[in-house]
Structure 1
């Protein structure tokens, strides 16, 4: 399983460490601020897809030559002073698009932190599926700057950092299906800030809510027990996330994210109930179903089933249970 997950975390002791600010891409850097540079740099690689999160304490100039054929989408996580990329003045949680084979120029006037994901332009249609404006590769061929919504932007950036922290602690790797789920979860954090800055798109045909839900449930049935991300459903069914949300609200009174979380909780319950204690752990099963905050997962689980996940796992050792 380890072939699907690469983890690399290090402390920075000098600006030279930022040459690898984005995993797989060389960046020319020059220190602008005075003092010894300190910081951290972490990379997560899932196949050809990567997420990098870095932080540093002094001003920095960054330049990237036009030799990288991958799409880079970045987010500003923290900034003590002004940050500018090309002619864009960045605010917290703003998203920056660096298309393939385009030179990039950035200036950080003080200590900052950033996140950047890098992947092949050919993956756009799948990872951004359902959102017509974002699943078109032409959307990402020009440099871009998306202003984040203050509320959703801060939540998205915190979630991105938590995902990085969680995956960094699971160096044993991921299954192919779980790897795809985590890629979509990472992309979604930045996509939220992109969508919030776009004008509403209410055009298009809205299919019958129940007919759409039936198609979703057929897709989930074929997927089996693996975790399925909302963006995967949108791509597979060629439907926008907004349309999907309206359908789930009409039929179930809750959004697709909550519905899929309930489904994953039920899958975990069944796996734990059918497992012999000692053969697996709650944490391992939770991660394979896309939960990266065990405390919050435990709350969801207890609220839904009225018992702790460890109690469900222990059920298999009860002498009164016929297996």
Structure 2
């Protein structure tokens, strides 16, 4: 844990112990916890990612400051940092686990080993590999840390990515401009969600959160890695039916991520997307979002709001951006979530 860091400003009142204080969000029994740490000197960034042991040297004049966030779900970790001014960082990211990271923004230049890094580039740091980097200006990054086995399980339909050896080499991926913009925006919203303490509490909601963050990286990597082996699957309409049958068999309303479908049905992301576009005219992510919206709508109509609020209901059904949730909701149902609740109350429905 970084030394000398004080608790980040927020809705907490940390004790004055002289040790780093942390904001803890979520419930321990739900296995999702997040901590914010205010950075006041370069040494506070020593554990820039969970398990890292970095030597940080400040390269520019001025007070060092920033914010570091760690989140943990089982053996999966997310870390996000926002700091400045210039530093050099050198050391092992994690001795036992793979780390995958990207820069969200930088007001200066960033280099990793011998090459320049642009915001949206994805870097794979194998376990035990020493990294060295230089960051100038103000920098924002996000990393995830997990085992080779968990990575292989998440991408077991993606050819080379499912081979453990793939994750034992240093790699850099450069997604398209559209992909990198989408990934950066998505991860920035997820980090903000954690920092504000807006986290799902149910096991299904937490699993969807973990899958979504992992997919933000892996989806871009899969698009960059060419694999010549034949894919196994079927005709499009049959695949769509199999997806619907699988989702229907789950607990009503449980959010389902595209990575889960690929793993269960043994189909690549590209094949799944093509099947949905050819069969029903929308992609699988859009279709799953419509199903989650429908489930949330039913919950609000019947008084089964998670945590008794629209906010928590949205989080439990996999919507981290409440503004977008409200926009999607109104577009489909022609009313705001609050209007659905009022209509239910007029019908005599009371929260369960």
Counterparts in 2 of 1:173 and 1:256: CA distance versus 1, 3 Å: closer
Match of residue 209 from structure 1: 236
Matched, 1:2 2:27: yes
Partner in structure 2 of residue 105 of structure 1: 132
The two structures have a TM-score, normalised by structure 1, of: 0.92
Between the aligned partners of 1:264 and 1:171, the Cα distance in structure 2 is 18
**Shift, 1:156, TM fit:** 0.9
C-alpha deviations, 1:172-222, integer Å up to 9, x for none? 762222111111111122224323433476843441112111211121122
Task: Give the secondary-structure state (helix, strand or coil) at the position aligned to 2:175.
Answer: coil
Give the SS at the match of 1:291. coil
CA contact (8 A) 1:66 1:102 kept: yes
1:290 matched to 2:315? The reply is: no
Residues 129, 236 of structure 1: 8 Å contact kept:
no
Tell me, in whole angstroms, the C-alpha distance in 1 between the residues paired with 2:200 and 2:270. Answer: 33
Give distance in 2, aligned partners of 1:113 and 1:279: 32
Q: Go from structure 1 to structure 2 and tell me whether the alpha carbon gap of 1:214 and 1:80 turns closer, same or farther (over 3 Å shift).
A: same
User: 2:216 aligns to what?
Assistant: 189
1:266 to 275, 278, 294: 294
Q: Which residue of 1 aligns with 2:16?
A: none
**1:242–1:44 distance in 2 versus 1, CA, 3 Å:** same
1:236 aligns with 2:261: no
Counterpart of 1:27 in 2: which secondary structure? strand
Partner of 2:20: none
Q: Does 1:308 align with 2:333?
A: no
Alignment of 1:49-128 (within 5 A): 49-65=76-92, 68-128=95-155
- Give ranges in structure 1 of 5+ residues lacking alignment: none
Measured after TM superposition, the shift of residue 318 of structure 1 is 2.1
Which stretch of structure 1 is more off in the superposition, 213-222 or 77-86? 77-86
Cα offset for 1:280? 1.4
Q: TM-score, normalised by structure 2?
A: 0.85
Contact kept in structure 2, 1:298 and 1:308, CA below 8 Å:
yes
Which whole-Å deviations, capped at 9, do the CAs of 1:27-48 have from their partners, x for residues lacking one?
A: 2211122222121111121222
Q: Contact 1:149–1:196 at 8 Å: present in 2 too?
A: no
Contact 2:98 2:146 (8 Å CA) reproduced:
yes
Match of 2:255 among 227, 231, 238: 227
Matched, 1:141 2:168: yes
Q: Point out the more displaced range, 294-303 or 62-71.
A: 62-71
Distance 1:226 1:29 in 2: 43
2:40 to 13, 28, 34: 13
1:37 matches 2:68: no
Q: Write the distance in 2 (CA, Å) between the matches of 1:279 and 1:8.
A: 22
CA contact (8 A) 1:44 1:50 kept: yes
Residue 22 of structure 2 corresponds to none
2 CA distance for matches of 1:102 and 1:247? 40
CA change 1:320–1:56 in 2 (3 A) is closer
For 2:109 and 2:307, the matched residues in 1 are separated by 52
Moved more, 78-87 or 153-162: 78-87
* CA RMSD of superposed structures (Å): 2.4
Which residue among 265, 273, 276 is the counterpart of 1:248? Answer: 276
Q: Which structure would you say has the larger RCO, counting Cα contacts within 8 Å and 6 or more residues apart?
A: 1
Pick aligned residue for 2:182 from 138, 143, 155: 155
How far did 1:23 drift?
Answer: 2.2
**CA 1:318 to 1:110, structure 2 compared with 1: closer, same or farther past 3 Å?**
closer
